[in-house]
Structure 1
Amino acid sequence: MARPKEFDQQNVLNKAMLTFWQQGYEGTSVRTLLERMGIHRGSLYDTFGDKHSLFQASLEHYDRTVIAHNFAPLESPNASREALVNFFISVVDWSLQDGDRKGCLLVNTVAELSAQDAEIAQQIAGYFQTIEQRFERVLWRSRQKGELTHPGDLRLLAQYLVMNLQGLRITAKVQPNPHTLQQLADVTLSTLFNRSNH
């Protein structure tokens, strides 16, 4: 009979996620993970599998917690232009409050692993597709309300927002200047909306 787990699985997974987020996949050893998670090697392998599987679980946890929380305002059935403006203001705020400049775990992972790990690349692509769909729904509502002035295809415009979101997060890691980041966010939105609307 299997022994019951003597730890909170979500709690230790959160610790693993934070460790990967701070140190990257290659920069994180199994020993460090065990120390940070506070579990034994056997428990890690029994519960999560190997380091790669744990990393995949950590990415999923990041999507369910950090990403879901950050994008919650855009999930409102009434979210449109104002919600997008507030969202990008929040992006600047998160970036500036990120004292150790962790950035975005998804963006970091693309830079570190996507070229040599097709499985991880596919997983990350799925998360970005979901983000794109969130943006597309908000843009659709904005167009219905007459707020969206750009005539372009909504999916393409949503991809444009994803690209600029990624760029903001990267820029904040190397140049965490509030004025610069806010200007970049403003330019991103002014491309889609009349300046008088935001």
Structure 2
Amino acid sequence: MARSKEFEENDVLEKAMMLFWEQGFEKTSMNDLVEHMGIHRRSLYDTFTDKRTLFLKAMERFEDRIGGRWAARAKQAETADQALRSIFRFVIDGDEDAPPGCMLVNSAVELAVRDADVDAKTAQAFAKSEDLLAEIVAWGQQSGEFTERYEAKELAEYLHNALAGLRVMARTSAAKEKLERIAEMSMRILTP
């Protein structure tokens, strides 16, 4: 008789995502995952196949989580300026009860050069982020908040690069005030 799962897949995937986010792929062992997820090794293999497949699923979960939060912040804002500042604030402050920085940025730095699937997932996630930023910039250009000297897509690429840098710096001992100055300087390029 087949045994039923004794865990909720989304719950253990969330735990794996947090561990990979904190430690990265290579530093996280199967023993770490089994212990942190609170499931048996066999259950991990039966459900997720292997560590790499679990990692890729954790990346997808992270992208859904963060992409959704960026989009929600943009929708709640009354102006394009507020929308962008809210995203910068989220990147600087981080997510409550979560590791600092960004799992996607960390994964790109750690693995993208030698893992085509990780590279594709990070490239896709970064493109979605740039698309959202381009929408916000275009909104700001139409409302007169932002410069029209550059195309919205070009400005979005620049802003995404600044946000990626902030996500890296958020994992270091850099002072929050420094991150805030970088965010403010990044916003100045948008001044009409």
TM-score w.r.t. length of structure 1: 0.88
Structure 2 matches for 1:1-198, cutoff 5 A? 2-76=2-76, 80-94=80-94, 102-194=100-192
Shift of 1:2: 4.3
Aligned-CA RMSD value: 2.1
Amino acid at match of 1:123: K
Counterpart CA distance in 1 for 2:178 and 2:156 is: 22
d(CA) in 1 for partners of 2:171, 2:35: 27
The residue type equivalent to 1:171 in the other structure is M
Maintained 8 Å contact 2:91/2:101:
no
Amino acid of the residue matched to residue 150 of structure 2? Answer: G
- Once structures 1 and 2 are overlaid, which stretch shifts more, 166-175 or 41-50? 166-175
How big is the shift at 1:94? Answer: 1.9
Distance 1:23 1:71 in 2: 27
Number of residue pairs the alignment of both structures matches: 192
* Residue 77 of structure 1, CA deviation: 8.7
Aligned counterparts of 2:102 and 2:77: Cα–Cα separation in 1: 26
Superposed displacement of residue 76, structure 1: 5.0
CA distance in 2, matches of 1:178, 1:29: 32
Q: Residues 150 and 193 of structure 1 are in contact (CA less than 8 Å); yes or no, is this contact kept in structure 2?
A: no
Change (3 A) 1:137 1:180: same
Take 2:80 and 2:134, find their aligned partners in 1: how far apart are those partners? 10
Q: Where do 5+ consecutive residues of structure 1 fail to align?
A: none
2:12–2:38 CA contact under 8 A, matched in 1: yes
- Give the Cα–Cα distance (whole angstroms) in 2 for the partners of residues 160 and 41 of structure 1: 43
Whether contact under 8 Å (2:100, 2:170) holds in the other structure is no
Query: Which segment is superposed worse, 25-34 or 42-51?
Result: 42-51
Distance in 2 (alpha carbons) for counterparts of 1:67 and 1:11: 19
Given that 2:48 and 2:54 are in contact with CA atoms closer than 8 Å, whether structure 1 keeps it comes out as yes
The separation in 2 between residues aligned to 1:138 and 1:66, in whole angstroms, is: 17
Q: Does the aligned pair in 2 maintain the 1:15–1:37 contact within 8 Å?
A: yes
Deviations 1:29-64 (Å, cap 9, x if unpaired)?
A: 111101111111221111111110000000011112
Cα distance in 2 for residues equivalent to 1:58 and 1:155: 29
Q: How far apart, CA to CA, are the structure 2 residues paired with 1:189 and 1:150?
A: 14
Question: CA offset at residue 121 of structure 1?
Answer: 0.5
> How much has 1:175 moved relative to structure 2?
3.7
Q: How far, CA to CA, are the matches of 2:172 and 2:37 in structure 1?
A: 29
Q: Which amino acid is 1:80 matched to?
A: A
